[in-house]
Structure formats: structure tokens, C-alpha cells
Chain A
Amino acid sequence: MARYGMVIDTLKCVGCQDCVIACEAENSVPEGFCRDWITTEAKGTFPTIQMEIRTERCNHCTDAPCVSACPTGASHYHDIGGVVLVNHDECIGCKACIASCPYDARFVHPEGYVDKCTFCIHRVEKGQDPACVSVCPTYCMTFGDFDDPGSEVNKLLNSRRYHSLLPEAGTKPNIYYLT
């Protein structure tokens, strides 16, 4: 089995939105929507400020509440890497998944189904990185398999301090942020 995920180095990220734009182009995301986005967290008062810049998206959780909330089975774990996907044909647009997602990663596509990050599974299946990873001018994102002990993503987690987003939600997110 594989468990796909990402490790993102916040020390490198400059928040340029290249990942956002590459995703929109790659996946023909409709105007006004995005599958990934930038969050900037600044703490402190001028001039003593701590700032973390992050690229965020669906965390492809191992215990994904969107999958359990879906009444039709449209939201599901993909056979490969446990990637959380939405089957457009089975989605009835009830938005239960949107309400259940602690990361606000989903939106209703103008065509009526719920849409979100797919980890560019169409690229991954061809041996390529997701579009956001492959475009990043700071090389801050690494995509890989957490079930493979020798994978680059595991090496990074073993060598650096990291955190995930909202671990208290108990969804077992598969994106980690190096700090």
C-alpha cells in the first residue's frame, strides 16, 4: 500500500502563488475558484515578528470526514496512495463534505459537483509530481509516499521539525509543514 502526501518547507516558501496558478492551468479550475492557496501567519508586533508562509490544499486525510459524510460514495479513497477524490458523476452537490472538512478545501464547481485538489493523480500515475510541486520556484514542496520508509518525504520528516494543520480535528492529514 502507499500513502501519498506532501512535506512543505515553510522556510523556503515565499507565498508567490505559482502553485495556485499552475494548478488552475493544469486542471482548468474555473475562474474565481482555486484548489490550493497561500496562508500567511504573522505573530508579534513590529519589528519583532514571526511569520510562516504556507501553501495549503486538501490534506488527503487518512481518516477523511468528507468521505464518511458523503451519502453517495462520491467522495472516496483512491486505490492508489489513499488520495481522496470526488467522483463527479456520483456527486449530488449536497455539500455535506464541505461542511465536514476542517480545512475548507472543497468548493462546488459551477457544473454542480464538488471539486478539490486531486494531488494531480493524473500526473502522479504517469510518474510526474503534482503541478504545484513541479512548478514551485523555491522547491519547497516534496510529494511522496509515507508508507515507504526510504522516501524523500519520510527523510525530511526525520530530519526537521514539522507540524500539520489542525491535528486536533483527528483526521490524520497527510501534509506536513517543516519549520
Chain B
Amino acid sequence: MNSLSRRRFLKISGATISAAAAVTSLSSVVKGAQKIDEKTGKPIKGIQKIPTYCDVCFWKCGAIAYLKDGELWKIEGNPNDPLSNGRLCPRGTGGIGAHYSTDRIKHPLIRKNERGEEKWVEVTWDEALEYIATKMKKIKREYGPESMALFSHGVGGTFLKHTMKAYGTNNMTAPSFAQCRGPREVGFEMTFGEGVGSPERTDIENAKCITFIGSHLGENMHNTQVQELSKAIANNASIIVVDPRFSVVASKAKYYLPIKPGTDIALLLAWMNVIVKEKLYDVDYVEKYGYGFEQFAAEIEDKTPEWAYPITTIEPELIRKSAREMAKNIPASFIHPGRHTTWYGDDTQRSRAIALLNALLGAWGRKGGFYLPNKFSVPKYSDYPKYPKSKKPLVHNPGHKYPYAEGEQLSTGIREATINGIPYPIKGWMVYATNLLQALPNRDETIAAIKNLDLLVVVDIVPSEIAGWADVILPEATYLERYDDLNNAPFKQNFVSLRQPVIDAPHDQKPNWWIAKKLADKLGVGNYFPWNNIEEYLDARLKKAGLSLAELKKKGVVKGEKQPIYFDEGIEPGFFTPSGKIEFYSLQLEEHGFDPIPKFTDHGNPPPGYFRLLFGRAPVHTFSKTQSYKFLKDAMSENEVWMNQTVANKMGLKSGEYVQLKNQDGKKSGRVKVRPTERIRTDCVYMVHGFGQTAKEMKTTYKKGGSDAELVTRYKMDPIMGGTGMNVNYVTIDWEA
């Protein structure tokens, strides 16, 4: 970096000390902001501003970290970042709590006693990595490298994936597919030939009508979407909300449909029935781009609001009015596809129905509907040797039982192979940044799988529940203390952003890239890391895109030229389906013996005395990850169980009283407060996910609130893509709290 660019930055930022001061040279391993001035040897006074991108959730908002006198003070949105627009969500604002968490793992740990007893010996990095490499080599010798599997969540897993591929396995997965957004992606691919992606390609800010089905935006804080929702509200957009719970966004709605859980497909069919019968759909669009509309129209002919009423409990008139409202605003009207969509096991078909309703509204490719994202092109790092080829199949989906699980792998499939050894044994798990005991349904199965392992390595910031079962825990530097790979996710405005360290890791924690590289060395595949440190890697990638690491370190984010994002802006409509059209009748589903047009399936009722368990998000927490963060733990230290006020009164339950929930299989939630409220139906209860953590070493979160994860013992597999429908558990109140 030359002094000229440093001066220029000073002028732009107006900061007392330039962020550029944080950059010493490419030879530094990982260094955050300077605390000591190199020239004077004195502590740096004043403010340093360092751009980076957030990691508290997967949205990856551009941010600027502030250091005051060398200490991490606060973090704000980067005004030049198109995702954050200069404003982070509460989790991002509270992100500095990741650095300050008192529960952090300080050194690598090797298990001392039985698995799950959480007793450890502190070791050096060299000892820990040597131990892992020795075990991995033994697994390779005895079973083949494919008997190691990687579970990974987020961008931080990039380099560990690389190491695992170099070692010789492709069994790698993230619960974010089959436990979360998978059914939605497949449902939309079947229909439009493309998934929704992340960030979702929803043009909320330009919509005149937005329909949410069980998606509680505002409680889930997908930052750009929340910002756009506010703009839509300011523009007087109509909002339609379908939810068994009167969510925050329901309070903004023109029409609120308090649906019986599990009956959404019936409502969707009835809405489409109204829109087709009354010919309210975008006729030109459907004629031009649709395939199989006649068969589809015939199929929904008898799915009237009167048919749907006893199923959904939604009055026919309300179904009609809300259908007309969404049709009135064509094409700037769309049904939000949601994100966590693994509910009842027919979730791909529900997502198909959502996609089809969007197709009737002409929303795909249209302003105020689904835009067509574009991506800032940054070539991949190419100077790697070829990965070894495996003759063995992947283990996650034997016999291709789930035909559309092939793009991303099934986490429960790898778990199953670990339990039963089919098609071959899995003997080692590497787990990166995902607490599998919260993310996967049925804990007993996860623990049964772990008991079959010769090696369980967990890379984590804190001693999470899954870390408690590990043989080796590797303490990772938080996102504020490390580099990661670049973010150039497809979006309305193409961009590339950098994550860089803003402060040093407080103890012996290391960044994931360093861990991956050192482990590769120990495994004898160090030649797969031809770069000395990640700065070289990032600079090489950025140079190929006509940028440089130095530039990104200063700016944090660089935007590309604005590209067209709607059909109306000149993009030629194209649909990557077998027919090349929007498939009202799915040829792919037909080929595999599934319903080519979605059908309603009954998902039953809770037995007497039981309630259907629903779970969701709070604005201040991500999964089970953030509960120990300073600020965020104060903002919500435990969850509550929402229960209808009348039901609570009948049962004599008082607000704030502690109970336990017990599910149909006798599993208990742990102590949780009752929240009697008018804001929920009588046949279900609701909890925020991620609480009631059982890891003893998590001092700030141990047994705070109730665990929905403990209660999700049953799950219903989606036959199309292997998703795990998890809203199929029933709970009752157990007073012994």
C-alpha cells in the first residue's frame, strides 16, 4: 500500500486514524487493528474505522467496525454496501459480542473422558492438528478417505472443504439445505428452472402487494428485506399474512389469515382457484411463458374457498378478498417464498404451489416481484492441483432415493450412513460452525451416529452442544478477528465485499483458513495450499477481477455497474425447465412419479391435551449461535412458550410461570416461561429456536429457556428432495419444571 492511497482514505473517512494503518504487509499472519503505534511505540489513541462484512447470520452485510483507543467499540453498516445500506440488524449491531463472549474457547482442547462429558485437556495447535491428522490417516488407511464427512455452515467453511477434498472425500453437507431452504429451492426450480437463492431475489421495495406464508419477516431480520419492507409500507403496499400466530408482520397486514397449521397447500390451491376462475391472473404472461396451464386449471377446478374452509379454518370470503387483493396489484405482487421451509414433509409441493401462484401473478422477472440477480464476477483461485477422484458414491442419498437431493447433500443422510454403515461406514466427522444438536431433528439419532465415530472434530467459537461431544475442539477466531473468502453473492446490485480482521483474537484462537491450511500440511496435502496466507489468495482473486486486496481493505465493498434485473429492462425471459417454460405441470416431477401439480395432504391434529409445536426466529438471535453475546443476551436471555390466552386460563397457567414441555415421545424441553397471549391459535404453541442449551461449558446460556430441538424427535421426509419436515411434533405441558 502506498502512502498516497493512505492519505486519500484519511480524507474520505475523516477518521482520526486510518484503517489503512491496520494493514502492515502481506507477510502478517492475521492481525487486527493496531493497538500500538509502530513508530512511537505508544498505544494508539482515537478512533479507527475498519470495513468488513458481518457473520452473525448468512446475509453477510457490509459493516464498519470502530475501535476506540485500540479497543473494539461498536460496529455499524457500511453505507456503500448494497445489502446493509449503512444499517445493520440488531444481531449485526450486537456482533461485537462475538469477540467479547465470556464463554469463548481459548485453546485447542482434546477430550479427557467419555464423549459428551465435556472434560478436556488444553493442548497446542500442533498437538491438536497432529492428533486429528493421525486419526484421519488411519481412517483413510482402514476405510478410505470417503469415510470422513464434513458438516459446514457459512462462508468460513470454504477452506476446510478444500482440505477435505484434497484429502479425498466429497461427503460434505450443510443443514441449511435439507433442514431449511432446500424445499423452496427445489419447488421454484421445478417451476421456473431456478431457485430463489440467497439473498432471496424478492423485490419487496417495489411491490404493491406482498403475501407472507408463515414467514415472519421483522422477527427474522434478513436485513435488506426488512429495510425494503419498511419502504413498501411507506408506499402503502398491501400486506397479506398467513400464520397460526399473529406475528409482527401480521400487525402490518391488510388481511391476516389465521390458518390451521399444516394446511397451507389447501389455501394456496383455493387462492389459485379464485384467481383462475375469475380470470384475474396475468393472462398474457401465462400464455406466453406457461406450460401445462390447462391441466393445472382442471386440477384446481374444484379447489374452491368453500372446499378449503373446513381444512384451513379460513372463511371463504377472506380467501376471496385476499386473492383479489394480490391479483389487483399484478405484476408488482408476489408471495414471499420464505426461508426456513421444512415443515410437514410435503414442503417442496407447498413451495411449488407458492411458485405457481407467483407465476399466475406474473411475478417472476418483474419489478415488484422476483428480480433476476446479477453477480460481480470474481474468478476462482485456479492454481490448485486436481482433487483426487473417488470411485465410491456419496453416502447421503443411497440409490438416489430422493431424486432432487443431488445439488446439495442431505445432512441427515450422512448421519444415517454413520449409524448404519450403508453404503459404507462413515468414521470421522469434521463439524464447522454448525451446532448439529440444534440444527438436525432427533438428537438421539445424532448422538447414536457420533458414538459410531472414530473421530469427531468441532471447529467453533464457543463450547457449543455439538462441541461437547467432540474428541477435539479447535477454537476459531470470530469474524471480527479473521479474513474469510470474498462475498459476491448474486443480488440486485452486484458487488464484492471483504471480511478482514478488525481486532486480534483474544487468546489462542485461529482463523479457519489457517486451520485448513495447517491441517492440509499435516495430512500431506499441503501442496493444495500454494499460497502462504489468505491475503495472497484474496489478492490473487481480486487482481483477476481488476481489483486488489489493498482497495478492498480500504473500501470493504466495491459495486459493479448496474445491470438490468427485470424482463421489462430488456432481459430475455428464459426458464431452465425441460419445457423451457414456467411449468404449471411439472415434467420432472411426473418423470419421478410425483404429483406434477401440487395436491393437499392432511397432516392430522394434535391428540387431546397436546398442541402442535411451532418454532421460529427472534430479531436478536441467530440459531443457537448468539445467545452468549454481550448485548444480545441482555436483549433476549431466554425464550418463552407462546400459548393462547384462553387455553392458558383454562389450564391455570400464569404469565412468566415456568413449565416444561413434553412431546409425544416423552422428551422434555427444559424450563421455559409461559407467555399467554391472544396472538396465537388454540391448537399450537410457539417457541423461538436456539434456547435451552445443554452444554455445561456454555455458562451464559446453559438451560436458559426451553429447547425446541429436544422436542423435535419426529420428522417427516420430503420424498422429492429429502428435507426434514419438523412441525410434526406435539407437546403437552409438564408442570414439573
A pairs with B: yes
A20 cross-chain contacts in B, Cβ below 8 A: 90, 635
A46 touches B252 (CB 8 A): no
Query: In the complex the two chains form, what is the Cα distance from A21 to B94 in whole Å?
Result: 6
Query: In the complex the two chains form, what is the Cα distance from A114 to B76 in whole Å?
Result: 28
Give how many A-B residue pairs fall within 8 Å (CB-CB). 117
Does A32 have its Cβ within 8 Å of any Cβ on chain B? yes
Does A31 have its Cβ within 8 Å of any Cβ on chain B? yes
The smallest beta-carbon distance between B685 and chain A, in angstroms, is: 13
Using a CB-CB cutoff of 8 Å, which residues 226-282 of chain B contact chain A?
A: 226-227, 229-231, 233-234, 246, 248-252, 256, 258
Among candidates B74, B227, B233, B248, residue contacting A26 with C-beta atoms closer than 8 Å: B74
Using a CB-CB cutoff of 8 Å, which residues 1-39 of chain A contact chain B?
A: 9, 11-12, 14-18, 20-22, 24-26, 31-32, 34
The smallest beta-carbon distance between A105 and chain B, in angstroms, is: 18
Given contacts A18-B88, A18-B93, A26-B74, contact A137 B258 (CB under 8 A): no
Does B219 have its Cβ within 8 Å of any Cβ on chain A? yes
A49 cross-chain contacts in B, Cβ below 8 A: 246, 250-251, 678-679
A31 touches B218 (CB 8 A): no
The smallest beta-carbon distance between A102 and chain B, in angstroms, is: 24
A25 touches B631 (CB 8 A): yes
A18 touches B90 (CB 8 A): yes
Among candidates B96, B226, B231, B677, residue contacting A14 with C-beta atoms closer than 8 Å: B226
Given contacts A32-B634, A137-B223, A137-B230, contact A18 B248 (CB under 8 A): no
Does B632 have its Cβ within 8 Å of any Cβ on chain A? yes
Does B443 have its Cβ within 8 Å of any Cβ on chain A? no
Does A166 have its Cβ within 8 Å of any Cβ on chain B? no
B678 touches A21 (CB 8 A): no
Given contacts A12-B230, A47-B256, A49-B246, contact A17 B619 (CB under 8 A): yes
B73 cross-chain contacts in A, Cβ below 8 A: 25
Number of interface residues of A (CB under 8 A): 34
Given contacts A14-B619, A46-B644, A51-B251, contact A135 B87 (CB under 8 A): yes
Does B520 have its Cβ within 8 Å of any Cβ on chain A? no
The smallest beta-carbon distance between B703 and chain A, in angstroms, is: 20
The smallest beta-carbon distance between B464 and chain A, in angstroms, is: 22
Chain A, Cβ-Cβ closest to B231: A139
Chain B, Cβ-Cβ closest to A22: B93
Chain A, Cβ-Cβ closest to B221: A16
Chain B, residues 75-88, CB within 8 Å of chain A (1/0): the string is: 11100000000011
A11 touches B258 (CB 8 A): no
A21 touches B90 (CB 8 A): yes
A17 cross-chain contacts in B, Cβ below 8 A: 90, 619-620, 635-636
The smallest beta-carbon distance between B644 and chain A, in angstroms, is: 7
Query: In the complex the two chains form, what is the Cα distance from A17 to B229 in whole Å?
Result: 17
The smallest beta-carbon distance between A72 and chain B, in angstroms, is: 30
B229 cross-chain contacts in A, Cβ below 8 A: 14, 138
A42 cross-chain contacts in B, Cβ below 8 A: 246, 251, 677-679
Does B461 have its Cβ within 8 Å of any Cβ on chain A? no
Q: Which of A9, A11, A17, A135 has the most CB of B within 10 A?
A: A17
Among candidates A12, A16, A32, residue contacting B234 with C-beta atoms closer than 8 Å: A12
A16 touches B678 (CB 8 A): no
Does A120 have its Cβ within 8 Å of any Cβ on chain B? no
Given contacts A16-B221, A139-B230, contact A11 B252 (CB under 8 A): yes
A136 touches B87 (CB 8 A): yes
B93 touches A135 (CB 8 A): yes
Does B680 have its Cβ within 8 Å of any Cβ on chain A? yes
Chain B, residues 196-224, CB within 8 Å of chain A (1/0): the string is: 00000000000000000000001101010
Query: In the complex the two chains form, what is the Cα distance from A49 to B679 in whole Å?
Result: 8
Using a CB-CB cutoff of 8 Å, which residues 48-95 of chain B contact chain A?
A: 73-77, 87-90, 93-94
Between-chain CB contacts (< 8 Å), 12 pairs: A12-B234, A15-B218, A21-B93, A22-B93, A24-B634, A25-B74, A25-B96, A51-B246, A136-B87, A137-B89, A138-B230, A139-B227
- Given contacts A20-B635, A46-B679, A137-B87, could you give 11 more A-B pairs where the C-beta distance is less than 8 Å? A12-B233, A15-B218, A16-B221, A16-B226, A18-B90, A31-B630, A47-B256, A47-B258, A49-B251, A53-B251, A139-B230
Interface residues of B (CB under 8 A from A): 73-77, 87-90, 93-94, 96, 218-219, 221, 223, 226-227, 229-231, 233-234, 246, 248-252, 256, 258, 619-620, 630-632, 634-636, 644-645, 677-682
Interface residues of A (CB under 8 A from B): 9, 11-12, 14-18, 20-22, 24-26, 31-32, 34, 42, 44-47, 49-53, 134-140
8 nearest A-B pairs in the assembled complex, by CB-CB distance: A14-B218, A16-B619, A51-B251, A47-B258, A138-B230, A18-B90, A25-B74, A12-B230
